[in-house]
Amino acid sequence: MSPRIKDSTVEAVLAAADIVDVVSGYTSLRKRGVTYTGLCPFHQEKTPSFAVSADKGLYYCFGCGEGGDVLTFVQRMESLSFVEAVEQLAERFAVPLEYEEGGAPDQAVRSTERRLATLLEKTAAFYARYLWESKEGAGARAYLQGRGLGREVCEAFQVGLAPNAWRGLCDRALKEGYTERDLEAAGLLVRRPGKAYDRFRGRLMFPLADHRGRVVGFGGRTLGEETPKYLNSPEGLLYQKSRLLYGLFQARRAITEADEVLVVEGYTDVLALVQAGIGNVVASMGTALTDGQLALLTRLTSNVTFMYDADRAGIEAVLRSGDLARRRGLRPTVVVLPQGQDPADTARAGGADEVRRLVGRKVSLLRFELLRLLEQGDTTSAEGRVRLFEAVREVLARSTSPQEREEQLRLLSDRLRLSPENIALLLQEAGRAGKRTEREGSPARAEEGGVRLLRDHRERLRSPELVVEREFLVAALANPETSAEVLRGLTPEHFVDPVHREAFSGLCRAFTAPDPRVVLKELVSRGSPAGRFFIRLVMEADSGAYSEAMLHERHLRLQEQHLQRNIAALRRALEEGDADADSERRLVRLEVLLHQVRSMLADVEEG
């Protein structure tokens, strides 16, 4: 459970953190009026549509709809939790951290964590220097060259070499003021009765960093015949393998840009693919993914593509990992590698083009599961096909996508020689099971629903009717002294779009509150689609293009649209015989009101 940071500390961080300074570390900004503009760091674009308001401490992209405050920005860019983002910005802008009573982390533990983290960072730097500068490193350098891995990519991932001496690292660390207890806690020292020595000796070293880029452990590969072939740091205060993915820190930007992550097994697979130009790749370090690892990936994408070795262990790991990903609401797919090849071989032989070709031929996890069943089963006899039918039914039931199931019909019909009736039975039973799974829900699926709502809202915004709604809301924000009176004459029914309706209700609350700034701040801080849209309204209101006259004109347009909708509904009811005399009288009144509104609009346009 994350420690609870005091609200006053969060407010202090938001006040101290310079959003322009923070955002400028990811994209170049140019000052235009009261805002700064630049290319959006969240999606590919050629024309700047990304705006930052230093005064309001907000950012918004008018292209992709991403928006929020400086904490939201750091969370999205660095794939951090809220607490991690607050801690990172507090450290950067020298804001003291205060926690709620009973929720503060143990300061002694925090102090130990910082000391061990510094030790591990220094160790990684020492191993890297030893690889490239020592005579003993010649063999390791030759090994990397033989695997086709250049110095540039190795340095990017801090690949190093542990000295072959029993205390090659230990003695150096003691001279720098660390103790054997520190080295043991960091997983760098092994204690035996009467002696203590380096855990890693003569091995090629791969620093294991967490999603924030902090080295928390190491993976060491033997260059000889020693066993085990790979040796990892032991589980401890910092290193927890089930919550780490090799290369995630380096890959996070590429993953969000591609909206897909390639998951491979080993360290050198990651290095080879990155060297070939494929950046959105991480390694599960030789095992199936865990729920903790998938939780890290869901911060970045919903599309997980497995590219494991084509051997039995790799296939079984794909099936376990893929099923777990599917249950978390992710979309797992599989790249089928040529027999006997691993991703590093593929990248080395064919480069990025060959990797992309194979990724382009990826199959859904469901199809991969079905193909494996059909390859292993007996399709030549009636008895074998019956057994396969039962196995196929179980696999189909695990899929939550009706479309995905239907896409496999031809494959199943051909291989199992199924009748249309049996195909229908398979789909019917699998559909019921899929609905049960979907009802269980997942955070990823809920978040995806919110993103879809915002995307649909942006698409609808192009309609003239919704343009009027949005521009009225912006003008209301830009003219708070006048808009309070105008808003009182409207209802949520004046707005067709549900996001606009929610924004309208928020404005009404704000302009009737003792301090409107408190409510406006609450609306902006929401992570919902309406919250992100409200940020857009605030940014547009700063443009200076929405005068008081425009507010009144858009108010009249809004009234006109509302009257037109009501009149059309009453006319339909009268034509269908579902209205009474009161409805006819109401229709006449509304038509008179519409005429008056249009007269006022004509006067405004003439003025």
DSSP string of 486-554, one letter each residue: HHHT--GGG--SHHHHHHHHHHHHHHHSSSHHHHHHHHHH--SHHHHHHHHHHHHHTTS---HHHHHHH
Element (H, E) at 448: helix 443-460
Element (H, E) at 183: helix 180-185
Backbone angles phi, psi at 61, to 5 degrees: -105, 120
Instruction: Please give the structure tokens belonging to residue 211.
Output: 């999603």
CA–CA distances in Å: residue 218 to residues 130, 157, 161, 205, 500: 15, 12, 11, 7, 51
Cα distance between residue 411 and residue 374, in whole Å: 10
Cα distance between residue 381 and residue 404, in whole Å: 28
Evaluate whether the domain defined by 459-606 bears CATH number 1.20.1530: no
Please report the pLDDT score of residue 25 as a whole number: 87
CB atoms within 10 A of CB 49: 16
Please report the pLDDT score of residue 173 as a whole number: 95
Is 444 a residue whose pLDDT tops 70?
no
Chain position carrying tokens 């999606």: 43
35 SS3 class: strand
Is 104 a residue whose pLDDT tops 80?
no
E strands, 453-495, are: none
Topology adopted by domain 7-92: DNA Primase; Chain A (3.90.580)
Element (H, E) at 603: helix 581-606
Q: Which amino acid is at 36?
A: Y
Contact call for residues 90 and 96 (beta carbons, < 8 A): yes
> Smallest Cα–Cα separation from 58: which of 82, 34, 78, 39?
34
Please report the pLDDT score of residue 385 as a whole number: 72
Instruction: Please give the structure tokens belonging to residue 412.
Output: 């199943």
Q: Where exactly does CATH 3.90.580.10 map onto the chain?
A: 7-92
Is 102 a residue whose pLDDT tops 80?
no
> Which range, 97-101, 268-272, 340-344, 347-351, is most confident?
268-272
Q: In what order do the strands lie in the sheet with 50-53?
A: 30-32, 35-38, 50-53, 58-61, 67-69
pLDDT digits (tens, 9 = 90+) for 491-540: 999 999 888 998 899 899 888 888 877 887 888 776 667 788 888 888 88
Q: Which CATH architecture has domain 248-361?
A: 3-Layer(aba) Sandwich (3.40)
Element (H, E) at 334: strand 331-334
303 SS3 class: strand
Residue 457 or residue 169, greater confidence: 169
Residue 113 confidence class, pLDDT cut points 50, 70, 90: confident
Number of H helices, E strands in the chain: 27, 16
Contact call for residues 289 and 324 (beta carbons, < 8 A): yes
Q: Where exactly does CATH 1.10.860 map onto the chain?
A: 459-606
Q: Based on the number of CB atoms within 10 Å of its own CB, is 543 exposed (0-12), middle (13-18) or buried (19 or more)?
A: middle
Q: Which CATH architecture has domain 107-239?
A: Alpha-Beta Complex (3.90)
Please report the pLDDT score of residue 2 as a whole number: 59
Q: Which residues pair with 30 in a beta bridge?
A: 37
Cα distance between residue 225 and residue 423, in whole Å: 54
Residue ranges of alpha helices (H) inside 7-146 are: 7-16, 19-23, 70-78, 82-92, 107-133, 138-146
Please state the separation of Cα 90 from the chain's center in Å.
Answer: 23
Chain position carrying tokens 């902090």: 214
Tell me which of 9-18, 235-244, 523-532 is least confident: 523-532
Residue 410 or residue 442, greater confidence: 410
Element (H, E) at 556: helix 548-575
CB atoms within 10 A of CB 50: 24
Please report the pLDDT score of residue 389 as a whole number: 74
Q: What percent of the chain stands above pLDDT 70?
A: 89
Is 219 a residue whose pLDDT tops 70?
yes
Is 451 a residue whose pLDDT tops 60?
no
Cα distance between residue 17 and residue 415, in whole Å: 62
Please report the pLDDT score of residue 66 as a whole number: 87
Residue 257 confidence class, pLDDT cut points 50, 70, 90: confident
Is 300 a residue whose pLDDT tops 70?
yes
Contact call for residues 102 and 7 (beta carbons, < 8 A): no
Pairing of strands 331-334, 303-306: parallel
Instruction: Please give the structure tokens belonging to residue 384.
Output: 């074998």
pLDDT digits (tens, 9 = 90+) for 358-386: 999 999 998 898 888 888 877 777 777 77
